[in-house]
């Protein structure tokens, strides 16, 4: 049950899709100066070293955020050389800049102590990205709250230690608990002084247990019953498993039944040709690992679809590893 460790996958293409979507959604919600309750049901360790044994062993960050760092550095260089032209280019691709470049700038901020041009060695998970936005100068006075759940004993301990270094007090809480169960006690969120209730829920289990797919759908269904106006973001892997194929359809049905709008985005990076068939007859084919994933958002910002349609082609081009790379964005409700 506890074999999955996100440290092996931190900064890969799936994280890029998840975190670009999460940050774009949060930016939109934070344009309104009323508090948010932010909930991460499967928080992991919170922040990761890309130069430790796990990340180096998998090499996924090298095929993910390391490639994106090159994009970020090229953009910064262009801005330094020709600020006026760069500003015009940003204005022409505003939605893309608000998503992809915002994400990369935040990751770069966690590596600000590194030498110029040095590879990024720190990757912030969802909890630390959400906390970064909560505590920005223009937002800190609002006093959003972040609720984190992690059941894995090692990752839960690491998460608690990392959060303690933030010195966030009661604004951030960590519970070693099943996030599916913990979520029930947080919805609906408490109202602020003006009676407003707002919450964002991120659900991204490892799916190492097949029942996770059904539990995700059940958690969303229960969440919509308790708090229909909440924003629910679900990450899932696109793999050859019936449950994975069926999950977005189940989520779409739940959103439609609740009368709520939805967005479904996918990103596929493909696999090298050598990783698909066996190179030698009778030999085991090389395993390419996860090559695609999806994000399903219920009650998405109205700006999210356009932003992703601008950002995902850039991500695909930067992260593609072979045939069948691609992206999609669908909306409804």
C-beta of residue 109 within 8 angstroms of C-beta of residue 324: no
C-beta of residue 182 within 8 angstroms of C-beta of residue 175: yes
Q: How many helices (H) and strands (E) does the chain have?
A: 12, 10
Nearest residue to 233 (alpha-carbon basis) of 157, 299, 297: 297
> What is the C-alpha R_g of the chain?
19
In this structure, the number of other CB atoms found within 10 A of the CB of residue 166 comes to 17
Enter the DSSP assignment of 306: H
- Beta-carbon contacts of 309 under 8 Å, excluding residues fewer than 6 positions away, are 95, 329
User: Catalytic: which of 40, 144, 155, 204?
Assistant: 204
Residue 207: phi and psi, rounded to 5, are 60, 25
- Beta-carbon contacts of 71 under 8 Å, excluding residues fewer than 6 positions away, are 100, 104, 314, 318
C-beta of residue 310 within 8 angstroms of C-beta of residue 254: no
What does the buried/exposed string (b/e) look like for 219-238 if buried means 16 or more CB atoms within 10 Å of the residue's CB? Answer: bbbebbeebeebbbbbbbbb
Helix (H, G, I), strand (E, B) or coil at 150: coil
Is 204 among the catalytic positions? yes
Q: How many CA atoms lie within 13 A of 121 on its CB side?
A: 10
C-beta of residue 293 within 8 angstroms of C-beta of residue 244: no
C-beta of residue 308 within 8 angstroms of C-beta of residue 328: no
In this structure, the number of other CB atoms found within 10 A of the CB of residue 5 comes to 18
Q: Which residues are catalytic?
A: 204
């Amino acid at each position: 049950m506890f074999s999955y460790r996100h440290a092996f996958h931190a900064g890969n293409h799936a994280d890029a899709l998840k975190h670009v979507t999460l940050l774009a959604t949060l930016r939109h919600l934070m344009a309104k100066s009323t508090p948010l309750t932010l909930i991460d049901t499967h928080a992991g360790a919170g922040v990761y070293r890309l130069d430790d044994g796990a990340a180096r062993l998998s090499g996924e960050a090298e095929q993910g955020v390391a490639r994106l760092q090159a994009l970020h550095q090229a953009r910064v260089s262009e801005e330094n050389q020709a600020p006026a032209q760069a500003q015009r280019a940003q204005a022409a691709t505003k939605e893309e800049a608000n998503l992809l470049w915002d994400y990369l700038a935040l990751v770069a901020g966690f590596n600000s102590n590194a030498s110029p041009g040095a590879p990024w060695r720190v990757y912030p998970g969802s909890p630390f990205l959400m906390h970064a936005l909560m505590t920005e100068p223009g937002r800190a006075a609002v006093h959003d709250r972040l609720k984190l759940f992690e059941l894995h004993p090692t990752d839960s301990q690491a998460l608690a230690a990392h959060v303690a270094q933030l010195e966030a007090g009661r604004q951030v809480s960590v519970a070693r608990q099943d996030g599916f169960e913990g979520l029930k006690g947080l919805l609906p969120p408490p109202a602020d002084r003006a009676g407003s209730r707002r919450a964002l829920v991120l659900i991204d289990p490892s799916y190492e247990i097949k029942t996770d797919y059904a539990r995700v759908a059940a958690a969303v269904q229960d969440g919509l019953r308790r708090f229909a106006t909440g924003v629910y973001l679900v990450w899932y892997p696109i793999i050859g498993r019936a449950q994975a194929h069926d999950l977005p359809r189940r989520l779409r049905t739940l959103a439609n039944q609740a009368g709520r709008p939805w967005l479904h985005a996918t990103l596929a990076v493909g696999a090298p040709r050598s990783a698909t068939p066996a190179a030698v007859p009778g030999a085991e084919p090389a395993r390419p690992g996860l090559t695609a994933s999806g994000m399903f958002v219920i009650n998405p910002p109205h700006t999210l679809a356009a932003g992703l349609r601008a950002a995902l082609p850039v991500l695909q081009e930067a992260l593609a590893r072979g045939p069948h790379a691609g992206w999609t964005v669908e909306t409804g409700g």
